[in-house]
């Protein structure tokens, strides 16, 4: 009976009178038919990856009878037909019931897609290789043009946790369930901005025993009419609270102003959904008090938002909200269910507020009396956008960009100073500035492992977070990379750092962003800033300054901040006192040194 069921569902899945057995390769007839006319992805499904825990033999993801658990997916919020916002793209998880075809093994099938954007996003996983499974496909445009792309799917059992969209705790086998963590990935490939896509042709079958599985595909469309005015990177997944039926009121500082507002909440690195009971936004008066009644936020027309594991959600626009430039806002979230760990940005250099345990929904409060506690992190909140505007500059960096050692609550990070410079002039567009700095972050290797509750909130590497923290940011126009000193201090070679910078530049340019790199500042006097560290720093800076076409522009932050009489150390007037991090004066000097025209695409 099982064989008959698979035979029938295979016919339905591809829309042709051809049987497709789960776990095997697509027949030549199916591949040939799919190449003739693009079809919606779900009509090409030829493999069942998900089984019910009670009937594990009904799916065969990898050709050996192993599969994903439907119950694990449900526990993560990845339910059939659910729209998942991953790195700015809206992807629909297959509607298939457990045991039915829910993905296609890439073998040259033509998939119907429509839209304009900066990327095509896929939910993928590889099986059989124990490593990435990759291949070259084709994007077809409505104007008749074509372009090739490379799609790589990490292995579902051994791929990196740092880049996964979601991790699940079990594998289903014909003999029962086994405790082993498996992964699914959201991967994007660049396309030509402004050109309408007609379809994509998936890569050919890689052969041997490896398969590249595609569960969903969508065009990532840019956010028309919005400019990012504030953002923060998720630096880890850490213990909090516990918070239960409490509200947090988060203080954030705008860069660009405009009319209309929306916020982005993210459940990055999580293993379970989180429920936001209510949310609001207001201009800060002082402390936790708002300057006026907070504006309620909705999500798809509902007051409540449930964010699946690894996903994000944008609020509906509040069109009558005036966002002032260079001003503190209060974003309040009611957490009705117990929250013991959360994705967060750890080094905010800003106090935010939390209400008492069991105090309920205080998001509509104008006064701050209910917010009796303080926190120094930003949980869940990763972005604030305002209507109109020319777009944003993204600052990708480590603790110096994060503002570590700057004055608490004064917004004197160098991206803050840069934002004020943009707003105070009219020679170039008044861009927003998005601070994607993470203290302790590196270019080459991860600090936070990418999964589970951890005390390490140094984030995943700049390369691993690039899509989420730069390429998917609202109306990003330019990226400034100022990073590398942590890699050098912890043993990375100049060649490794240069390779990482090249990769960041190549991927950013492929998405149409202007790529700007800053030289690495000196740190003599900090305990581990040895002469060898300085020699490797100097080698990396030489590569950046030579700029043989890797970058569109270079900012010589090293030259701005170093002591001319001893170039391996920071000028004392700019030093916060620890010899690694500039103080307020040094951060201002960095921002003031930038020719704004270099940041204009």
Extended beta strands in 193-308, E state: 197-201, 211-220, 226-231, 236-243, 246-253, 258-266, 274-276, 279-286, 289-290, 295-297, 305-307
The string of pLDDT tens digits covering residues 27-82 is: 443 344 344 699 999 999 999 999 999 999 999 999 999 999 999 999 999 999 99
In this predicted structure, what is the pLDDT of residue 223? 83
Name the β-bridge partners of 295: 281
Angle at the Cα of 423 (from 430 to 262), degrees rounded to 5?
A: 70
Mean pLDDT of the 297-317 span: 98
Nearest to 590 by CA among 559, 565, 544: 559
Segment among 202-206, 331-335, 375-379, 535-539 with least mean pLDDT: 202-206
Is 23 a residue whose pLDDT tops 50? no
The CA distance from 397 to 436, in Å, is 6
Nearest to 90 by CA among 346, 433, 472, 569: 472
The torsion angle over the Cα atoms of residues 495, 500, 506 and 509, rounded to 10 degrees, is -130
The CA distance from 76 to 59, in Å, is 20
Phi/psi of residue 314, each to 5°? -105, 140
Is 17 a residue whose pLDDT tops 70? no
Mean pLDDT of the 227-240 span: 98
3 state DSSP class of 301? coil
CA count, 13 A, side-chain hemisphere, 230: 29
Supply the pTM of this predicted model.
0.93
Structure tokens at 594: 């930038």
Is 212 a residue whose pLDDT tops 80? yes
Nearest to 185 by CA among 229, 206, 155: 155
The string of pLDDT tens digits covering residues 137-195 is: 999 999 999 999 999 999 999 999 999 999 999 999 999 999 999 999 999 999 998 89
Helix H segments across 15-164?
28-36, 70-75
The CA distance from 304 to 290, in Å, is 22
The burial of 546, by beta-carbon neighbours within 10 Å (0-12 exposed, 13-18 middle, 19 or more buried), is given as exposed
Is 4 a residue whose pLDDT tops 70? no
The torsion angle over the Cα atoms of residues 86, 304, 369 and 331, rounded to 10 degrees, is 30
In this predicted structure, what is the pLDDT of residue 20? 32
In this predicted structure, what is the pLDDT of residue 207? 67
Name the β-bridge partners of 302: 299
In this predicted structure, what is the pLDDT of residue 7? 36
Cβ atoms of 459 and 438 within 8 Å: the answer is yes
In this predicted structure, what is the pLDDT of residue 587? 98
The CA distance from 465 to 235, in Å, is 10
Kind plus residue range of the DSSP H or E element containing 462: helix 462-466
pLDDT-above-70 percentage for the chain: 94
In this predicted structure, what is the pLDDT of residue 14? 33
In this predicted structure, what is the pLDDT of residue 129? 86
Name the β-bridge partners of 408: none
In this predicted structure, what is the pLDDT of residue 209? 77
3 state DSSP class of 11? helix
- DSSP label at 553? E
Is 542 a residue whose pLDDT tops 50? yes
Dump the DSSP string for 127-162.
ESSSS-EEEEEEEEETTS-EEEEEEEE-BTTTS-GG
Mean pLDDT of the 538-561 span: 96
In this predicted structure, what is the pLDDT of residue 222? 84
Is 10 a residue whose pLDDT tops 90? no
Name the β-bridge partners of 395: 435, 480
Is 99 a residue whose pLDDT tops 80? yes
Is 240 a residue whose pLDDT tops 90? yes
What confidence category does residue 202 fall into, taking pLDDT thresholds of 50, 70 and 90? very high
The CA distance from 291 to 293, in Å, is 7
The CA distance from 547 to 541, in Å, is 10
Question: CA 428, 430, 434, 440 torsion: positive or negative?
Answer: positive
Mean pLDDT of the 500-517 span: 97
Nearest to 599 by CA among 475, 396, 431, 368: 431
Is 491 a residue whose pLDDT tops 50? yes
Cβ atoms of 308 and 82 within 8 Å: the answer is yes
Structure tokens at 132: 């990435």
The CA distance from 3 to 58, in Å, is 10
Task: Delineate the domains of the chain, giving CATH numbers in brackets.
Answer: 2-220 (no CATH), 243-253+265-344+351-377 (no CATH), 390-601 (3.40.50.1110)
CA distances (Å), origin 456, targets 112, 163, 225, 451, 465: 42, 17, 37, 11, 16
3 state DSSP class of 538? helix
First-to-last alpha carbon distance for the chain, in angstroms, is: 61
What confidence category does residue 437 fall into, taking pLDDT thresholds of 50, 70 and 90? very high
Cβ atoms of 230 and 434 within 8 Å: the answer is yes
């Amino acid at each position: 009976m099982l064989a008959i069921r698979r035979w029938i569902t295979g016919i339905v899945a591809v829309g042709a009178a051809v049987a497709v057995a789960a776990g095997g390769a697509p027949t030549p007839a199916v591949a040939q038919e799919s190449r003739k006319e693009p079809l919606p992805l779900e009509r090409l499904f030829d493999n069942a990856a998900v089984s019910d825990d009670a009937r594990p033999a009904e799916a065969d993801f990898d050709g050996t009878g192993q599969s994903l658990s439907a119950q694990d997916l449900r526990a993560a919020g990845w339910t059939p037909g659910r729209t998942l916002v991953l790195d700015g793209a809206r992807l629909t998880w297959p509607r298939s019931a457990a045991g039915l075809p829910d993905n296609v093994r890439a073998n040259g099938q033509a998939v119907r897609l429509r839209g304009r954007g900066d990327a095509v996003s896929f939910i993928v996983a590889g099986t059989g290789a124990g490593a990435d499974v990759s291949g070259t496909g084709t994007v077809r445009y409505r104007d008749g043009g074509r372009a090739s792309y490379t799609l790589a799917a990490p292995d579902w059992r051994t791929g990196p946790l740092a880049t996964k969209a979601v991790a699940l705790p079990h594998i289903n086998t014909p003999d029962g369930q086994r405790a082993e963590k498996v992964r699914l990935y959201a991967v994007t490939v660049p396309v030509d901005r402004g050109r309408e896509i007609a379809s994509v042709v998936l890569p050919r079958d890689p052969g041997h025993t490896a398969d590249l599985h595609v569960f969903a595909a969508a065009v990532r469309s840019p956010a028309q009419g919005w400019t990012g005015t504030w953002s923060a990177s998720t630096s880890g997944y850490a213990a909090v609270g516990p918070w239960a039926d409490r509200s947090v009121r988060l203080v954030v500082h705008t860069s660009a102003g405009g009319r209309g507002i929306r916020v982005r909440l993210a459940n990055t690195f999580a293993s379970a959904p989180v429920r936001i009971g209510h949310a609001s936004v207001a201009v800060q008066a002082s402390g936790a008090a708002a300057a006026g009644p907070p504006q309620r936020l909705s999500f798809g027309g509902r007051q409540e938002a449930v964010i699946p594991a690894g996903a994000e959600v944008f609020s509906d626009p509040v069109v009558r909200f005036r966002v002032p430039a260079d001003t503190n806002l209060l974003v309040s979230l009611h957490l009705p269910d117990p929250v013991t760990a959360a994705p967060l940005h750890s080094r905010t250099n800003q106090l935010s507020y939390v209400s008492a345990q069991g105090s309920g929904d205080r998001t509509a409060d104008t006064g701050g009396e209910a917010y009796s506690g303080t926190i120094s992190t930003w949980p869940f909140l990763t972005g604030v956008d305002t209507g109109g505007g020319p777009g944003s500059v993204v600052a990708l960096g480590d603790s110096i960009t994060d503002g570590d050692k700057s004055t608490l609550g004064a917004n004197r990070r160098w991206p803050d100073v840069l934002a004020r410079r943009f707003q105070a002039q009219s020679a170039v567009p008044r861009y927003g500035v998005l601070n994607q700095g993470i203290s302790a972050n590196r270019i080459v290797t991860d600090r936070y492992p990418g999964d589970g509750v951890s005390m390490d909130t140094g984030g995943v590497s700049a390369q691993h977070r690039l899509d989420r923290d730069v390429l998917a940011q609202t109306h990003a126009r330019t990226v400034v990379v100022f990073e590398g000193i942590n890699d050098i201090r912890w043993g990375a070679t100049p060649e490794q750092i240069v390779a990482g910078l090249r990769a960041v530049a190549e991927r950013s340019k492929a998405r149409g962003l202007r790529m700007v790199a800053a030289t690495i500042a000196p740190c003599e006097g900090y305990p581990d800033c040895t002469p060898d560290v300085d020699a490797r720093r100097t080698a990396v800076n030489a590569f950046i300054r030579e700029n043989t076409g890797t970058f569109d522009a270079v900012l010589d932050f090293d030259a701005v901040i170093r002591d001319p009489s001893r170039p391996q150390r920071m000028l004392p007037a700019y030093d916060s006192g620890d010899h690694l991090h500039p103080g307020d004066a040094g951060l201002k000097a960095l921002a003031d040194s930038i020719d704004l025209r270099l940041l204009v695409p």
